[in-house]
């Protein structure tokens, strides 16, 4: 008989996760194999740490983390405020806190902490009571970290909080008219938000609509990204044979634009494989959500799904010119410590929901 810990693993989730991590390390190596920084070695370290977290979280149990969610949420808010006063500035944004030799992005922690706090809050309340204070409080839980992250400025990460709120409201059972009113209100407010954007954020939207507007400036990355993916064709140029990334035509090709490297070297088939693996991963979330009657667990899994799915759609979309360029990484594939560890923690929570599934 298999050991108990093996019986508790959701294999489609675990296998798709493993394959995505492997592809990530492979192409981080390809993107930077001439770089003495050895990003792939660092990523292997983060992967090892991530696996420890992934298997440790179910041992503790997602209910324990949900019970601590308000405390964890408060800690992340303190960290976000700390970024404003003590954060490091890189690429024109103040998003990092230095802790010894390690720099962390509190916004990554804030995403999952907000999901846990909101899942705990809504999961202990009934949607049919139609309490407007409950809806307003839930919105406040999401808006506070969203505004703090937006001020860094990090518009891409801050916008991820909107699908979190909408998905959890939907799963909670809120009446559709509230979602429709919110959508209409957002549509009306969108033009007004233009005046609150930073100049570089406006530029990104403008070059998304017309990359030739500034081909050597803000539109440069968008143009080079599409050239890299298009150059790969159907089957790609072959591993380590990409020129756009290896000659540094595409900036940040080991982080935000890792899909460019995959598209150029493995072509359409490589990107298709990536999409299939994410499809298997996200389908695992639906299976786990259907396998439990625990309200908080179902909301937690749905919120994590909203974060990861939105990030994947935005990252791949911006690479091929279907979305404006943001600073969002590709989960499990792009290089990055804070992002990887938080993704591993989030997947560990989902695995815990599967392990402790209940039908009472």
The 3-class secondary structure across the chain, one letter per residue, is CCCHHHHCCCHHHHHHHHHHHHHHHHHHHHHHCCCCCCHHHHHHHHHHHHHHHHHHHHHHCHHHHHHCHHHHHHHHHHHHHHHHHHCEEECCEEEEEEECCEEECHHHHHHHHHHHHHHHHHHCCCHHHCCHHHHHHHHHHHHHHHHHHHCCCCHHHHHCHHHHHHHHHHHHCCCHHHHHHHHHHHHHHHHHHHHHCCHHHHHHHHHHHCHHHCCCCCCHHHHHHHHHHHHHCCCCCCCCCCCCCCCCCCCCCCCCCHHHHHHHHHHHHHHHHHHHHHHHHHHHHHHHHHCCCCHHHHHHHHHHHHHHHHHHHHHHHHHCCCCCCCCCCCCCCCCCHHHHHHHHHHHHHHHHHHHCCCCC
* pLDDT number for residue 360: 37
pTM above 0.85, yes or no: yes
Task: Check residue 279 and give its pLDDT.
Answer: 95
Whether the per-residue pLDDT at 16 is higher than 90: the answer is: yes
Highest-pLDDT range among 38-42, 56-60, 82-86, 198-202: 56-60
| Cα–Cα dist 314/280, whole Å | 18
pLDDT band, residue 280 (cuts 50/70/90): very high
Q: Which residue has the tokens 């008989």?
A: 1
How large a percentage of the chain has pLDDT more than 90?
37
pLDDT band at 113 (very low <50, low <70, confident <90, very high): very high
pLDDT given for residue 208 in this prediction:
66
Q: How confident is the prediction for the chain on average, in pLDDT? A: 83
**pLDDT number for residue 5:** 56
Confidence at 287, pLDDT banded by 50, 70, 90: very high
For the chain, give the percent of residues with pLDDT over 70. 81
Q: Is 103 exposed, middle or buried (0-12, 13-18, 19+ CB in 10 A)?
A: middle
Q: Is the pLDDT of residue 213 over 80?
A: no
> Is 25's pLDDT higher than 80?
yes
* Averaged pLDDT, 50-69: 93
Going by pLDDT thresholds of 50, 70 and 90, the confidence category of residue 152 is: confident
What integer pLDDT is reported at residue 103 of this predicted model?
73
Q: What is the mean pLDDT of residues 96-109?
A: 76
Torsion of CA 213, 214, 220, 223, to 10 degrees: 10
More confident residue, 96 or 305: 305
At 359, the pLDDT band (50, 70, 90 cuts) reads very low
Which range of 148-157, 279-288, 348-357 scores highest in mean pLDDT? It is: 279-288
Residue that wins the pLDDT comparison between 88 and 60: 60
Closest of 42, 128, 74 to residue 339, by C-alpha: 42
Q: Of 80-89, 209-218, 293-302, 332-341, which one has max mean pLDDT?
A: 293-302
321 pLDDT higher than 50: yes
Least confident piece of the model among 75-79, 225-229, 251-255, 294-298: 251-255
Q: What is the pLDDT of residue 250?
A: 74
Residues 126-130, mean pLDDT to the nearest whole number: 67
Of residues 190 and 326, which shows the higher confidence score? 326
pLDDT at 90: 64
Residue 1: pLDDT above 50? no
């Amino acid at each position: 008989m298999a050991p108990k810990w093996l019986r508790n693993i959701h294999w489609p989730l675990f296998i798709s996760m493993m394959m995505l991590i492997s592809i990530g390390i492979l192409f981080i190596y390809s993107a930077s194999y001439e770089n003495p920084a050895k990003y792939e070695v660092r990523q292997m370290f983060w992967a090892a740490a991530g696996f420890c977290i992934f298997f440790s979280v179910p041992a503790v149990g997602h209910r324990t983390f949900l019970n601590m969610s308000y405390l964890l949420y408060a800690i992340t808010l303190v960290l976000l405020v700390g970024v404003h006063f003590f954060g490091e500035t890189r690429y024109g944004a103040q998003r990092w806190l230095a802790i010894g030799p390690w720099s962390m992005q509190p916004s990554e922690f804030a995403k999952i902490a907000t999901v846990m706090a909101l899942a705990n809050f809504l999961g202990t309340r009934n949607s049919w009571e139609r309490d407007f204070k409950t809806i307003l409080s839930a919105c406040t839980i999401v808006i506070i970290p969203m505004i703090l992250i937006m001020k860094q400025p990090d518009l891409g990460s801050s916008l991820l909080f909107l699908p979190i709120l909408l998905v959890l409201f939907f799963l909670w059972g809120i009446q559709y008219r509230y979602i429709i009113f919110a959508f209409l209100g957002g549509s009306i407010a969108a033009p007004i938000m233009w005046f609150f954007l930073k100049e570089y954020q406006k530029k990104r939207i403008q070059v998304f609509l017309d990359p030739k507007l500034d081909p050597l400036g803000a539109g440069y990355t968008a143009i080079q990204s599409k050239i890299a993916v298009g150059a790969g064709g159907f089957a790609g140029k072959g591993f380590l044979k990409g020129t756009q990334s290896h000659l540094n035509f595409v900036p940040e090709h080991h982080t935000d634009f890792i899909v460019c490297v995959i598209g150029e070297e493995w072509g359409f088939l490589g990107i298709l494989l990536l999409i299939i693996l994410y499809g298997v991963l996200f389908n695992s979330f639906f299976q786990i959500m259907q396998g439990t009657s625990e309200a908080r667990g179902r909301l937690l899994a749905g919120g994590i799904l909203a974060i990861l799915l939105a990030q994947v759609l935005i990252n791949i979309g911006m690479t091929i010119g279907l979305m404006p360029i943001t600073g969002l990484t590709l989960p499990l594939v792009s290089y990055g410590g804070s992002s990887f560890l938080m993704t591993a923690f989030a997947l560990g929570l989902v695995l815990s929901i599967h392990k402790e599934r209940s039908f009472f």
